[in-house]
Structure 1
């Protein structure tokens, strides 16, 4: 079973308590869909399950670094300040410049580093192991893929570790994991709240 690699830079709000069942909500502050679909779902689940489930929101950045940063996460959590495309969406559709819903779950900012800081043999190995068919590949094939991965990330000025080490498809992403960080469920994009609710209830039983 694959592991969830949680590498946060700073816990900005609340406290993350590792439980038998946990859920990480990975989002970007410059991601309208994260605010339309993701945050309300996690807020509702937090109200229902926080006594038995560990919750952590991870604000990440794989693009638009001028908006997706820790300073803007802190503004969002403090008074609902919106930025970039998210601000444009709520302003255009609702005449709002602040997010109308209070974020109540613990939230952190992803560890964002330069490519020089990020690239080492352990991290490259973690990424190559996630890519399909690696378990059945030869050592030579794995090594060649590792060089391709290293070359790819060498060209990036900044890299978010939680997002990259887990090879997430985008935001919002929902990762359910146990107290050993083994992944129990993984969903990307718009998902019905009942799906996550039923999954948590099943795991808690």
Structure 2
């Protein structure tokens, strides 16, 4: 992952202003871990750094599309209403159906397209170009790889572009990038807030 591909619909909340250092928090609404281990950390980082760093939350979907959608995101942002497994987790553990913490940072929904639209664009070639030494493969081998990737994505009915273009491992994901969208750090899963904070502080000093 050398470039961060931010392919989103319009912002649902706030305004994203790109800066020398930026943090994208990629999550799913139907992902309890994103709420337990992600949102509180990003809220704290946003409080500490929002005057120096660009922040954007990207709600995505690679499964459970009936829950991971823009309508569910809007319910979350407007009233804290939870859905799916996230709702089950908070109801069974805390007896609540609404998230008590607000998302204080700008938030958008990932751009969702059909498999046909995705594989007929130049995005497959961009994904393949991230393969080490892909440009040095013999032409027939490059063509074969592109075809295999197209065949893979043709079996997926709906594709979230930011999640897929960046080949993220899952959610929550934290991507740190500069004002030219060069990726400077990537973290997946449960992260220690201090590790992220230290990384952001170090990058701010280097610019």
TM-score by length of 1: 0.97
Q: Is 1:130–1:167's contact at 8 Å kept on the other side of the alignment? A: no
Once the two structures are overlaid, the 10-residue window that deviates more, 77-86 or 119-128, is 119-128
Question: After the TM superposition, which residues 162-201 of structure 1 pair with which residues of structure 2 at under 5 Å, given as runs?
Answer: 162-201=162-201
Q: Which residue of 1 aligns with 2:85?
A: 85
1:157 aligns with 2:152: no
Question: After the TM superposition, which residues 20-59 of structure 1 pair with which residues of structure 2 at under 5 Å, given as runs?
Answer: 20-59=20-59
Q: Is 2:27–2:57's contact at 8 Å kept on the other side of the alignment? A: yes
Runs of 4+ in 1 over 3 A off after TM superposition: none
Computed over aligned residues only, the root mean square deviation of the Cα atoms, in angstroms, reads 1.2
Structure 2 unpaired stretches of 5+: none
Q: Which residue of 2 aligns with 1:8?
A: 8
- CA shift, 1:139, in A, is 2.6
Q: Which residue of 2 aligns with 1:114?
A: 114
Cα distance in 1 between the residues matched to 2:139 and 2:105:
43
Aligned pair count? Answer: 205
Q: Is 2:81–2:99's contact at 8 Å kept on the other side of the alignment? A: yes
- CA shift, 1:117, in A, is 1.4
SS in 1 for 2:175: strand
Cα distance in 1 between the residues matched to 2:196 and 2:131:
25
Cα distance in 2 between the residues matched to 1:70 and 1:10:
11
Q: Is 2:118–2:124's contact at 8 Å kept on the other side of the alignment? A: no
Q: Which residue of 1 aligns with 2:98?
A: 98
TM-score by length of 2: 0.96
Q: Is 1:9–1:110's contact at 8 Å kept on the other side of the alignment? A: yes
1:68-122 CA-partner distances (Å, limit 9, x unpaired) = 0000000000010000000000000000100011110000000001111111352
SS in 1 for 2:150: helix
